Amino acid sequence: MTNFPSDFLWGSATSSYQIEGAHDKDGKGPSIWDAYCKIPGKILNDDHGDIAIDHYHKYKEDVALLKQQGFTAYRFSIAWTRILPNGKGEVNEKGIQFYNDLIDELLANNIQPWVTLYHWDLPLALQEEEDGWLNPKISYYFEQYATVCFDRFGDRVKHWITLNEPWVVAILGYGQGVFAPGHISNSEPYLAAHHLLIAHAKAVNVYKSYFKKQQGTIGITNNCDWREPIDNQPKNIEAAQRALLFFLGWFADPIYLGDYPQVMKDRLGNRLPEFSELEKSLLKDSSDFFGLNHYTTMYAAEQDENAVETSAYGNGGLSEDQDVQISQDPNWDLTDFNWAVVPWGCKKLLEWIADRYDNPPIFITENGCAYHDKPSADGQVHDERRIQFYKSYLEACDEAIKNGVNLKGYFAWSMFDNFEWASGYSQRFGINYIDYDTLERIPKDSAKWFTKTIKEHQERHTLKDKVH
């Protein structure tokens, strides 16, 4: 990783519902994920986040692990319903206190907090009374909630992420119905996404207008897999490009280029809402950095009626709208989550982003892999495959940087094994193992590998500084 700049940021990431537990403690209200997990059959083994890894009570121990492992940044999310139990109205001071304590603990250990405002745990009251992300008013509620967070935490938090993966909210929550709130529709995803984008833009506008003196940065995190044309036929090259536009262009084009991709407008007709001129201007340049969550790669081809689906979550969007058939190469290694390990896809995606959006500063805000880890007889977790995964993806990043991509940081997903949404606790993405009986944290070999890698990076640059 010799091309990484000296100020490259090394972090690790989590989200509120996946780790905190304490689901009804100290005045917290219920979120759509609290409710969704209680519907029998929605989550593997009917798992839920009521306790999760009990980070709410063990946060000091967890910050100590971050410190010990050498991370200089920690990405976590705020549970909206700890701050505003019903999504709006009175502030819950005990919720503020928890995040104040966490932020102070991080800063005392020289770890930069990177705070996501929304990682999918919408206040249940806003779903039931206001129709969640389908209601245009939701952007106003989000703006209000964001304002409370800037006001109460912004003296110490200098890195904000408005939304985590609006694509997942829209497609998995409102299209395929596999995530909360569990809707199945071919039009709701586009409406929900529209309101998510406007909510993001309004929150950024508040931050830039009223909290300038805090001198922080703010952006959005989108997820995207790479789509590789299955062969050189022009129709398949075009299908891969179209798939990327329906996946990432959907959310990044309005922010960097001012509107939805033309191919989406052409294909979706009046199912794709239109931005007003004011909304367009609020959206344009509303992200100080390009937050990217990246996990895997698929081949893309023009849709063939007879082909079989291979993706864990369907076709990277609504397939009938894209006419794209995706598949995996039988030679690719799979993680236990069935996501293929294809590091060169990461490099190609980074270069695609740099090319399409004029080389923005990029932070990989999530990358990682799930395996069914278990401690060995020596009590340690030897997750060699995860080390190989991280090594190969970071090498791909190194090549992208060498080719001119402005990649400025990388967050491993995840700091801990945690509640993996519809898969419950069956999938382990962590670099720290959680024993769910005792809630003991056991650093995996991959955590130790990060410590070494970060240290090597830092030493290489101190050495360079001395030479110059």
Pick out the residues of the known binding site for substrate: 18, 119, 164, 295, 413, 420-421
- Closer residue to ligand PNW in complex, CB, 144/423: 423
Does residue 244 sit in helix, strand or coil? helix
- Name the residue type at position 383: D
Catalytic residue among 20, 188, 228, 366: 366
Minimal distance, residue 386 CB to ligand PNW, in Å? 14
Distance separating alpha carbons of residues 371 and 374, to the nearest angstrom: 9
- Closer residue to ligand PNW in complex, CB, 34/279: 34
- Closer residue to ligand PNW in complex, CB, 154/249: 249
Strands 362-366, 290-293: pairing is parallel
Kindly tell me the sign of the dihedral angle through the C-alpha atoms of 138, 141, 147, 152: negative
Binding map of ligand PNW across residues 399-428, x = CB under 6 A, - = no contact: --------------x------x--------
Is 52:419 a contact under the CB 8 Å cutoff?
A: yes
Is 327:301 a contact under the CB 8 Å cutoff?
A: yes
- Closer residue to ligand PNW in complex, CB, 70/430: 430
Residues for the chain: how many in total? 468
Minimal distance, residue 427 CB to ligand PNW, in Å? 8
Catalytic residue among 165, 188, 228, 279: 165
Minimal distance, residue 121 CB to ligand PNW, in Å? 11
Q: Does position 322 bind ligand PNW by CB under 6 A?
A: no
Give catalytic status of residue 165 as yes or no.
Answer: yes
Q: Could you tell me how far CA 281 lies from the centroid of its own chain?
A: 25
Does residue 77 sit in helix, strand or coil? strand
- Closer residue to ligand PNW in complex, CB, 228/366: 366
Burial of 228 (0-12, 13-18, 19+ CB in 10 A): buried
Among 1, 208, 313, 382, binds ligand PNW (CB under 6 A): 313
- Closer residue to ligand PNW in complex, CB, 145/167: 167
Minimal distance, residue 160 CB to ligand PNW, in Å? 16
Q: Does position 117 bind ligand PNW by CB under 6 A?
A: no
Q: Does position 446 bind ligand PNW by CB under 6 A?
A: no
Is 81:31 a contact under the CB 8 Å cutoff?
A: yes
Nearest alpha-carbon partner for 420 in 299, 313, 281: 313
Minimal distance, residue 309 CB to ligand PNW, in Å? 13
- Name the residue type at position 54: D
Q: Which residues are annotated as a binding site?
A: 18, 119, 164, 295, 413, 420-421
Q: Does position 366 bind ligand PNW by CB under 6 A?
A: yes
Is 243:324 a contact under the CB 8 Å cutoff?
A: yes
Does residue 373 sit in helix, strand or coil? coil
Q: Taking CB under 6 A as the criterion, which residues in 218-247 touch ligand PNW?
A: 223, 225
Is 410:73 a contact under the CB 8 Å cutoff?
A: no
Minimal distance, residue 56 CB to ligand PNW, in Å? 17
Binding map of ligand PNW across residues 141-170, x = CB under 6 A, - = no contact: -----------------------xx--x--
- The strand order across the sheet containing 324-327 reads 226-229, 297-302, 324-327
- Closer residue to ligand PNW in complex, CB, 165/288: 165
Q: Does position 15 bind ligand PNW by CB under 6 A?
A: yes
Sequence-separated (6 or more) residues with CB below 8 Å from residue 399: 3, 347
Sequence-separated (6 or more) residues with CB below 8 Å from residue 181: 32, 36, 122, 127, 132, 173, 174
Minimal distance, residue 365 CB to ligand PNW, in Å? 8
Q: How far apart are the first and last CA of the chain?
A: 20
- Say whether the peptide bond before residue 181 is cis (omega within 30 degrees of 0): yes
Q: Which active-site residues does the annotation give?
A: 165, 366
Residues that bind ligand PNW (CB under 6 A): 15, 18, 164-165, 168, 223, 225, 293, 295, 313, 366, 413, 420, 429
